[in-house]
Amino acid sequence: MLGLLLIAVIAIIVAQVVSSSRQSKSLAPPCFNIPFLPPFLCGIIAIIRLGADEDGFLQSLRKQYGPAVYLPWPMSQYFVLDAPSIEQVYRAPSKVLSFVSESL
């Protein structure tokens, strides 16, 4: 039992290090005000909150983090949350934008 717990803790630490090295920290939310939570758990919390109340969740993101926010794995998505920023994204030249997902 103790061995399984130790393996789980090591797996969480490794997953956090790997996922944090691949993510953009500039737009990443600080894990919904829960300190020291691994990024992948933040992503799972985001999925649950998004599924429970999509409009409320997106509004709260906009209030807390501004017009753009990155939600970590398993979502691994950028959300652009206000009209002027959305217009800027669509006005950008296609060669600037890349919609190809990263391979894991």
pTM comes to 0.58
Name the percent of the chain in helix, strand, coil, to the closest 5: 55, 10, 35
| 10 has pLDDT over 60 | yes
Tens digit of each residue's pLDDT (9 = 90 or more) over 76-99: 788 889 889 888 888 888 777 766
For the stretch 28-43, pLDDT in tens is 565 666 767 777 788 8
Residue type, position 46, single letter:
A
List, for residues 57-77, the tens digit of each pLDDT value.
999 888 888 888 888 778 778
Instruction: Spell out the domain ranges in the chain.
Output: 30-93
At 23 the pLDDT is 47
